[in-house]
Amino acid sequence: MPVEERVFIAGAGPVGLAAAANLVRHGVPVTVFEAGAALNEESRASTFHPPTLDMLDELGAAAPLIAQGLIAPRFQYRMREGVIADFDFAGIAGATRHPFRLQSEQFKLTRILHEALAQKPEFRIEFGSRVAEVEQDGAAVHVTLDRNGSTERRSGRWLIGADGARSDVRRALGVEFAGFTWPERFLVVSTPFDFYSVVTDLVSVTYIAAPVRWHFLLEIPGMWRVMFPLAEAVSDEEATSRAFADSLMAGVVPGIMNYEIAHTTLYKVHQRVAKSFRVGRAFLAGDAAHLNNPLGGMGMNGGIHDAMNLTARLAGVWNGSTPGQDLDHYDRQRRLITLEHIETQSIQNKRNLECANPDFAAELRQTAADPQRGRDYLLRVSMIASLRRAAELG
């Protein structure tokens, strides 16, 4: 079978398409195989951190995304008694061209990237094409595609597995996905209810710490997403009922009535990292490589950081400006960063909201009050510190 002079990508999610966009930008021909019949339009990630926006800017995607999103210059921690601490991204204006969080649904990014890529001769996408098996030799990667029951074998030079949490590429490569699943599930209630009219000093990204009923409020254009942890004992049926959502929302706004629920999303939460992000000519990126709880919005962001790190190297190797060994730095940098920063910070964020550390509120107040500590904290939560650490690793 002839080897196509292309990089193959499994998955047209935010990570697969960001990887495609960066390769195409460097003149590398790409074919994306997407299992679905169209791009996924589910309501999932909605937070873009400052350095992710800096990267998307290089792909020409930041400005259109910002135009369709909501800029959150501050975020806040509260307890029942009121605000504990407020953080303003202006404190890290020297470290990013986008000193704010952008609240916008991830499907807007995939649409923007896909529309721009569709104009490029180096880009091809094949929908309804699930990468089911992967084999390789020293010169090429051979994938078996499942297209509605019929199979086809294709060969390309490299493969990026950006095929999400249940990655077939990861399974086919035999890479262990070590970690654990939290016993509680998370419920997201999306509502256009105007929280500003009833919660004093609210900002568009607000975390409310409490031992059992902690939750957070995220505003996206025209909607709020309110996220709650759910005890194991609650059945899926009960959790997605209107009565159950009402009982949770009454804890957010006492006496709330006659508000609209646009939709509810119930999901399991994992903390897992693949044992390796590279096997020969195949790589894992995004949810295929790592999963974490959504506190701090690091899943998709970390995945886009993977995509940009990997494809900058791959483009260099493709164009002959970088030696092949450079590709090993992808696994070294991104896997370590995922373990050191993304997993650690997201678990810490969850513990803080659960009030696991009784000194949490006092420490957070001190951090917010001290400019240097506040700046370091912002660099960590915005993921800039993790990217600086990756660069140090060489």
Ligand X SMILES: Cc1cc2nc3c(=O)[nH]c(=O)nc-3n(C[C@H](O)[C@H](O)[C@H](O)COP(=O)(O)OP(=O)(O)OC[C@H]3O[C@@H](n4cnc5c(N)ncnc54)[C@H](O)[C@@H]3O)c2cc1C
Q: Contact with ligand X (CB under 6 A): which of 265, 322, 344, 367?
A: 265
Between 29 and 303, name the residue whose CB sits nearer to ligand X.
303
The reply to whether 131 sits near ligand X by the rule CB under 6 A is yes
| Burial of residue 389, with CB atoms counted within 10 A of its CB: 0-12 exposed, 13-18 middle, 19 or more buried | middle
The reply to whether 280 sits near ligand X by the rule CB under 6 A is no
Q: Name the segment binding ligand X (CB under 6 A); options: 44-52, 75-83, 87-95, 331-339.
A: 44-52
Q: Name the segment binding ligand X (CB under 6 A); options: 12-20, 202-210, 240-248, 312-320.
A: 12-20
The reply to whether 44 sits near ligand X by the rule CB under 6 A is yes
Q: Contact with ligand X (CB under 6 A): which of 151, 221, 267, 339?
A: 267
The reply to whether 223 sits near ligand X by the rule CB under 6 A is no
The angle at the Cα of 108, spanning 12 to 198, to the nearest 5 degrees, equals 135
Show the tokens assigned to 248: 């949770």
Strands (E), the chain: 4-10, 30-33, 47-48, 70-72, 74-79, 82-88, 101-103, 123-126, 130-136, 141-147, 150-161, 177-191, 205-208, 215-220, 223-230, 263-274, 278-279, 282-284, 290-291
The reply to whether 298 sits near ligand X by the rule CB under 6 A is yes
The reply to whether 46 sits near ligand X by the rule CB under 6 A is yes
Rounded (10°) angle between helices 299-318 and 14-25: 30
The reply to whether 286 sits near ligand X by the rule CB under 6 A is yes
| Residue 140 backbone phi and psi in degrees, to 5 | -155, 165
Number of residues that bind ligand X (CB under 6 A): 35
How far from each other are the two terminal CA atoms of the chain, in whole angstroms? 38
Q: Contact with ligand X (CB under 6 A): which of 6, 130, 305, 313?
A: 130
Radius of gyration of the chain (CA): 21
The reply to whether 173 sits near ligand X by the rule CB under 6 A is no
- Closest residue to ligand X, judged by C-beta, is 13
Q: Hey, what amino acid is at 245?
A: A
Determine the Cα–Cα distance for residues 293 and 296; give it in Å rounded to an integer. 8
The answer to whether residues 171 and 131 touch, using CB atoms and an 8 Å cutoff, is no
Q: Name the segment binding ligand X (CB under 6 A); options: 92-100, 292-300, 336-344, 375-383.
A: 292-300
Q: Name the segment binding ligand X (CB under 6 A); options: 14-22, 201-209, 334-342, 379-387.
A: 14-22
In whole angstroms, the minimum distance from the beta carbon of 200 to ligand X comes to 25
Q: Which distant-in-sequence residues (6+ apart) come within 8 Å of 369 by Cβ?
A: none
In whole angstroms, the minimum distance from the beta carbon of 126 to ligand X comes to 9
The reply to whether 164 sits near ligand X by the rule CB under 6 A is yes
Q: Across-strand partners of 98?
A: none
Residues that bind ligand X (CB under 6 A): 10-16, 33-36, 40, 44-47, 106, 130-131, 162-164, 168, 188, 265, 267, 286-287, 294, 297-301, 303
